Every structure is written in C-alpha cells, then in structure tokens.
Chains A and B, each alone.
Chain A
Amino acid sequence: MAEYHLKTPISEEDVRRLRVGDIVYVSGKIFTARDAAHKKMIEIIKSGGEIPFETKGLLVYHVGPVVRKLDKGWKIIAAGPTTSARMEALEADFIRIFGVRGIIGKGGMFERTTKACMEFGAFYGAFVGGCAILAANSIEEVEAVYWLDELGVPEAVWLLRVNKFGPLTVAIDSHGNNLFMDVLSKAESNLRKILQ
C-alpha cells in the first residue's frame, strides 16, 4: 500500500503507477458531477457544443454538496461522496470524452468503467462514505459553478480547488483491477461457507 500525493492536471504516467489498495491525496482542481451533470455534459459534446472549462487531467467527484452562498462566491459546508454505481452507464463515455484521469466516489463501479480506466488511463478513488466534513475541510475554494439554475445545487457542476483531498483508496486501477468486485466475489464464497 503506497501513498501518493498527486496534483491536477494528472498525467497518464502518474495514473499508471497506481495500484489497487494505494492511497492518494489530490491537490489542484477537481469538479463535481452526479447523474444529471454526466448526462448534460455528454449531451453538450454530442450536439457539437463546448464545456466551459478544461476537463483533461482532472478528477470527477460524485457528490451533491451542501453549500452556503457568501457575499462573494460560495462555501462548501459538507461534501461526502454519493453512490457511484448510479453513474456506471455513463462513466466510460465520460472518461473517453473528457479525458478525466479519475473518479472519486463511494461504493465502487463495475466492468465498463474498469475497462475504460484501463484503456484511457484513469483510476477510481474511493472516498470514505459519510466523511462530509473531512472532505469540505480540504476544499479551499469554489472556482466556478456551471448549470446551477438548470440542475440545482446538488446536481450542478462545481469546479473546486482542493488541497490534500483524501484519503482516496485506489479501488479501480488502470491495469484492470477492481478491489470492490474482488471483495464482493470473496464475500460470496464466504457466504456459502457461513450458511453451510
């Protein structure tokens, strides 16, 4: 279990070094996207439009934050991860189109995302479910928010500057390994033994 401190934009070389079980802390820019934002961003590209910020080398965070409006800008109050499985159908396309180097979420993802991580050089970093304050604590600034009126606070895309955001446990690496799927398949054979 190695520990890495990565800065976005992250290079393919950096991601290829990561193995499942490693711990990552990330600094720099990341952006949030849940179900609706995934759909929205993919649709924009498919209809020939452009995304208003550079996505290459960033990480996408599955989260619907609690935010507070300040006189100038925004403050993130609580920002723990949401269940990533809901984004499985869209994530492979998302990685391919936007060149993100990774995903932050909870609960893991499945075959298609694992394949896309392998093909395009990305990883899945599991953030600890429920640790909303720990996450908010390492968010230094809200750089921008997109599609807020259309999607609402939790579903909007928040571009964040973070400092030592983590710990992220590498649960899908770019070599075809998927820790969640391994754990569940072991649990299944353990269940059979326990119920014998």
Chain B
Amino acid sequence: MPVDEDTIKQKLIKAITLAETSLPPDVETVIKRAYETEESDVGRAQLHAILQNIEIAREKKLPICQDTGLLGYIVEIGDDFPIRPGRIVKILTEATIEATEKIPLRPNAIDFWAEKNTGNNVGVGIPIIRVEPCDGDRLRIVVFPKGGGSSYVAKLYSIPPARGIEGVVDVAVRAVYDAGPKPCPPTFLGIGIGGTEDKAMLLAKKALMRRMDENSDVEKIARVEREIVEKANMLGIGPMGLGGKWTVLNARIEWACRHPATFLVGVVFNCWALRRAFLEYKDGDVIVYQ
C-alpha cells in the first residue's frame, strides 16, 4: 500500500500525544523498582506521587508534566522510501504545530532576539530534526520531547586521555553532583564518549533513547553503566533532592572512536519523565509505539 503524507502527519500527531501523555513501559518499570527499594521515607513519598501522576496523566490523556519540552525528532529514512526527506521535515513541523494546539502542549520556543514566544513550538532551529539516511524503504522516527530543567544541567567534558574510562565515571558522578535537585531526580543519564564535541553530545542524547530497564549487551560497557549509577547514588541527593537512595535510575552509554589527543565525554540528563515514542513504516503500514 502506498503511504501518503497525510497518514504520516496524523500518525506523527498520535506519536507526539503518546510520548507526552504516557511514559514508556521500561521507564515506568524502573521508577516502580525505585519506589519499592527506596530507603528514605521522604524519597518514597516523592516516588509514590510520581507513580500516581503517571497513572492519572495516562488515564486523562493529559501531558505528564507542564513542561512539555522542546520537540526533537530523529528520522531514519531509506533511499527507496516514497516520500522525500525534505517533505518529511515539513510534515514534522506541521505535526508539531497541530499537536501543540490539540494536546495541548505548552509553547516553549522563545525567540530571544525578538523577546517573544513563537506560540506554536516552531521557530528558528526548532523543532530539532535530524535526518539519517539508510538503505531500503524504511522509515523510523523517534519522537523525543526534552524538558528545560534537565537540559539546564547538561555537560561536555574533555578529560585527559590517560584517565580513560575511570575518568568518564568520575565526570559523570561530578555532573550528577553539580546538577543537584535541578533536573528533577531521580534522573536518567545519557553518556556519549569519543568523536568530536558535537558527536559526543549527540551520542549522549541518543543514549537516552535506549531502553532504560536494561544495560548494554556488551558486558564491558554495561559494567561502566552500572558503576556510574552505583557511584552517583552514593551521593545521597535522592528523589527531588530531598535525600535518599535513588538519584540516578539508569545510565546508558553510546560511543565513537576518539582522536588520539582527545577524550570527549557528553553527559545529558533526563528527568524521571523520560518521554519518547516511535513511528515506523513496516510492511506497508505506519505504526506508532513506545
């Protein structure tokens, strides 16, 4: 069945709605696990409220948080997909405007030179769209809204290459300390290692799009992910910064080869409300899922 532009747009609005109103099951599982194992009473009270909030938002189909974020999309598009990438970018922009009105989303795009909010979550450079070509007739779009509180504390470190992976663990823990209560802990960490500065940050962001109830299937990497979580949780910042066992729920790592002289580490946070959804064209059908 040929796929038309309007179908893609309507399914995109559906995917944005799903991302904003319903947390992915893997994310919810991890929060539940934290609630069951949190040792601080104050911490448990925060996590209990979070679980209640998730449930009511899903039931009422309302945004989980009033900061509905800046909308970000990663588009993997095959050379043989019938709609051109340029059109997909246009459709994404239209879907963003319509979803803002319909759900509703908070308008979050500020034109700081004009000192005004554009009012529809679209403006210069916004939404953030990244197109990645691939083989075949595939289309897969990751919908990833990102709230301001957790973007506020993102970090890029350049560590002495001799420090190696141990240095990565240290800066990740330091970033969690510096962030304190600001990113609405417990948080998820995306860590990007290697490449150039832009690559490290992109990898960190992509790491946040991984499943959060598991770790890397490469044991060496999984071990580092677990070590970061364990050490960050020794800080005791706890849910909402009120003290407790769970400051970081999980950390995921993406990597690229590095230049001999550099060892770049990007650390990106997501609040407990890690919102995402996928749109995929498969066997003539467009599906939306988390």
Question: In the docked arrangement, what's the CA distance between A132 and B231, Å?
Answer: 30
Question: In the docked arrangement, what's the CA distance between A64 and B48, Å?
Answer: 23
Contact between B52 and A134 (Cβ–Cβ < 8 Å)? Answer: yes
Question: In the docked arrangement, what's the CA distance between A77 and B105, Å?
Answer: 11
Residues from chain B with a CB closer than 8 A to the CB of A169 are 42, 45-46, 240, 242
Query: Interface size (A, Cβ < 8 Å)?
Result: 42
Interface: B63 (CB within 8 A): yes
Contact between A128 and B236 (Cβ–Cβ < 8 Å)? Answer: no
Contact between B240 and A78 (Cβ–Cβ < 8 Å)? Answer: no
Contact between A194 and B63 (Cβ–Cβ < 8 Å)? Answer: no
Interface: A47 (CB within 8 A): no
Binds B, one of A54-62, A87-95, A96-104, A182-190: A182-190
Contact between B49 and A195 (Cβ–Cβ < 8 Å)? Answer: no
Contact between B180 and A23 (Cβ–Cβ < 8 Å)? Answer: no
| Complex: chain A residue closest to B63, CB-CB | A78
Residues from chain A with a CB closer than 8 A to the CB of B67 are 80, 130
Interface: B66 (CB within 8 A): yes
Contact between A128 and B174 (Cβ–Cβ < 8 Å)? Answer: no
Residues from chain B with a CB closer than 8 A to the CB of A191 are 173-174, 177, 235
Select which of A78, A130, A194 is within 8 A of B50 by beta carbon.
A130
Residues from chain B with a CB closer than 8 A to the CB of A184 are 180, 237, 241
Distance in angstroms from B63 CB to nearest chain A CB is 6
Contact between B240 and A128 (Cβ–Cβ < 8 Å)? Answer: yes
Top 10 A-B residue pairs of the complex, sorted by shortest distance between their CB atoms: A129-B184, A78-B66, A132-B66, A131-B53, A134-B53, A130-B65, A128-B49, A187-B235, A183-B243, A133-B57
